[in-house]
Amino acid sequence: MYESFGNLLTAMVTPFDENLEVNYEKVKELSNKLVEEGNDGLVVLGTTGEVPTLSSEEKLEILRTVVNKVGDRANVIAGTGSYSTSESIKLSQEAEKIGVDGIMLVVPYYNKPPQYALYNHFKEVAESVDLPVMIYNVPSRTSRNIEPETVKELAKIKNIIAIKEASGDLGQVAELSLIEKEDFYIYSGDDMLTLPLMSLGGEGVVSVAGHVAAKEIKEMITQFKNGNPEKAKELNRKLIPVYNAIFIDTNPIPVKEALKITGFDPGDPRPPLYKLKTDKKEKLAKVLKEAGLV
Task: Please state, as a whole number, how many other Cβ atoms lie within 10 Å of the Cβ of residue 149.
Answer: 11
How many whole angstroms separate alpha carbon 31 and alpha carbon 14? 10
What are the pLDDT digits (tens) for 109-122? 999 999 999 999 99
Q: What percent of the chain has pLDDT over 70?
A: 100
Would you list the domain boundaries of the chain?
A: 8-215
pLDDT at 293: 96
pLDDT at 239: 97
Fold topology of 8-215 = TIM Barrel (3.20.20)
Q: Find the catalytic residue in 26, 59, 69, 164.
A: 164
Is 164 a residue of the active site? Answer: yes
pLDDT at 263: 97
Residue 242's pLDDT band, with cuts at 50, 70 and 90, is: very high
CB 251 within 8 A of CB 173: no
- Average pLDDT on 212-216 reads 98
Q: Find the catalytic residue in 2, 119, 136, 185.
A: 136
For 117, residues 6+ apart whose C-beta sits below 8 A from its C-beta are: none
pLDDT at 257: 98
Q: Coil, helix or strand for 48?
A: helix
pLDDT at 173: 97
- Which pTM was predicted? 0.96
pLDDT at 264: 98
pLDDT at 281: 97
CB-count exposure of residue 86 (10 Å: 0-12, 13-18, 19+): exposed
CB 172 within 8 A of CB 159: no
- Average pLDDT on 153-161 reads 98
pLDDT at 236: 97
pLDDT at 102: 98
* Average pLDDT across the chain, whole number: 97
pLDDT at 57: 98
Is 59 a residue of the active site? Answer: no
pLDDT at 294: 92
- Average pLDDT on 184-195 reads 98
Helix/strand number for the chain, H first, E second = 12, 8
55-59 long-range contacts (CB < 8 A, ≥24 apart) are: 56/91, 58/22, 59/91
pLDDT at 84: 97
What are the pLDDT digits (tens) for 5-25? 999 999 999 999 999 999 999
pLDDT at 250: 97
Taking CA atoms, 15 is separated from 44, 267, 277, 289, in Å, by: 12, 6, 19, 23
CB 173 within 8 A of CB 202: yes
Length of the chain: 294
